[in-house]
Chains A and B, each alone.
Chain A
Amino acid sequence: MAGTFKFELVSPERVLMSVDAEQVVVPGADGDFAVLAGHAPFITTLRPGVLDVTAGGTKRRVLVKSGFAEVDPTRLTILAQSAYDVDDLTPAIVSKELAAAEAELASAKDDAARMNADTLVNELRRLSAKAA
Chain B
Amino acid sequence: MASLKDMRNRIASVKATRKITKAMQMVAAAKLRRAQEAAQAARPYAERMDGVLANLASKVADKNSAPTLLVGNGKDQVHLLIVMTAERGLCGGFNSNIAKLARQDAQKLIAAGKTVKIYTVGRKGADSLRREFGKSFVDRTEFQGVKQITFDHAQGIANKVLAMFEAGEFDVATLYFSEFKSVIAQKPTALQLIPAKIPEAKGEVAKGPSAVHEYEPSEEEVLGDLLQRNVSTQVFRGLLENAASEQGSRMSAMDNATRNAGDMINKLTIKYNRQRQANITKELIEIISGAEAL
A binds B: yes
Query: Known contacts A44-B216, A79-B229; can you find 15 more A-B pairs with CB under 8 A?
Result: A10-B44, A12-B46, A12-B151, A12-B232, A13-B38, A40-B214, A41-B210, A41-B214, A42-B215, A43-B52, A43-B216, A44-B215, A45-B221, A68-B52, A70-B48
Is A130 engaged at the interface, CB distance under 8 Å to the other chain? no
Cα–Cα, bound, A18→B48 (Å): 14
The reply to whether B151 and A42 form a contact with Cβ atoms under 8 Å apart is no
The reply to whether A15 and B44 form a contact with Cβ atoms under 8 Å apart is yes
Closest chain A residue to B210 by CB distance? A41
The reply to whether A68 and B226 form a contact with Cβ atoms under 8 Å apart is yes
Range class of the B interface residue count: 20 to 34
User: Given A77-B48, A79-B49 in contact, is the A12-B154 Cβ separation under 8 Å?
Assistant: yes
Provide a sorted-by-A list of 27 A–B residue pairs whose CB atoms are within 8 angstroms: A10-B44, A10-B48, A11-B45, A12-B42, A12-B45, A12-B154, A12-B232, A12-B236, A13-B38, A13-B41, A13-B42, A13-B151, A14-B41, A29-B216, A29-B217, A30-B217, A41-B209, A41-B213, A43-B214, A43-B216, A68-B225, A70-B48, A70-B213, A77-B48, A79-B48, A81-B151, A81-B229
- Tally chain A residues at the interface, Cβ within 8 Å: 24
Cα–Cα, bound, A28→B213 (Å): 15
Tell me, rounded to whole Å, the shortest Cβ–Cβ distance linking A124 to chain B. Answer: 17
Please report which residues of chain B, range 216-243, place their CB below 8 angstroms from some CB of chain A when the two chains form the complex.
216-217, 221-222, 225-226, 229, 232-233, 236
Closest chain A residue to B224 by CB distance? A45
Write out the residue numbers on chain A whose beta carbons fall within 8 Å of the beta carbon of B46.
12
A42: contacting residue among B48, B154, B213, CB under 8 A: B213
Write out the residue numbers on chain A whose beta carbons fall within 8 Å of the beta carbon of B41.
13-15
Is A3 engaged at the interface, CB distance under 8 Å to the other chain? no
Tell me, rounded to whole Å, the shortest Cβ–Cβ distance linking B38 to chain A. Answer: 7
Is B212 engaged at the interface, CB distance under 8 Å to the other chain? yes
Cα–Cα, bound, A10→B218 (Å): 23
Residues on A facing B (Cβ under 8 Å): 8, 10-15, 28-30, 40-45, 68, 70, 72-73, 77, 79, 81-82
Is B107 engaged at the interface, CB distance under 8 Å to the other chain? no
A-B interface contact total, Cβ < 8 Å: 75
Cα–Cα, bound, A12→B235 (Å): 11
User: Given A44-B216, A68-B226 in contact, is the A12-B233 Cβ separation under 8 Å?
Assistant: yes
Cα–Cα, bound, A14→B240 (Å): 12
Write out the residue numbers on chain B whose beta carbons fall within 8 Å of the beta carbon of A81.
151, 155, 229
Query: Which of B42, B45, B52, B155 is the most central at the interface, judged by chain A CB atoms within 10 Å of its CB?
Result: B45
Tell me, rounded to whole Å, the shortest Cβ–Cβ distance linking B154 to chain A. Answer: 7
The reply to whether A79 and B45 form a contact with Cβ atoms under 8 Å apart is yes
Interface string of B26-59 (1 = CB under 8 A from A): 0000000000001001101110110010000000
Tell me, rounded to whole Å, the shortest Cβ–Cβ distance linking B180 to chain A. Answer: 17
Please report which residues of chain B, range 168-198, place their CB below 8 angstroms from some CB of chain A when the two chains form the complex.
none
Cα–Cα, bound, A10→B233 (Å): 13
Interface string of B64-104 (1 = CB under 8 A from A): 00000000000000000000000000000000000000000
Is B260 engaged at the interface, CB distance under 8 Å to the other chain? no
User: Given A43-B52, A45-B217 in contact, is the A10-B45 Cβ separation under 8 Å?
Assistant: yes
The reply to whether A43 and B49 form a contact with Cβ atoms under 8 Å apart is no
The reply to whether A72 and B209 form a contact with Cβ atoms under 8 Å apart is yes
Cα–Cα, bound, A11→B52 (Å): 15
Tell me, rounded to whole Å, the shortest Cβ–Cβ distance linking B155 to chain A. Answer: 8
Closest chain A residue to B150 by CB distance? A13
Query: Which of A11, A13, A30, A44 is the most central at the interface, judged by chain B CB atoms within 10 Å of its CB?
Result: A13
Write out the residue numbers on chain B whose beta carbons fall within 8 Å of the beta carbon of A72.
209-210
Cα–Cα, bound, A81→B215 (Å): 19
Cα–Cα, bound, A81→B41 (Å): 14
Closest chain A residue to B40 by CB distance? A14
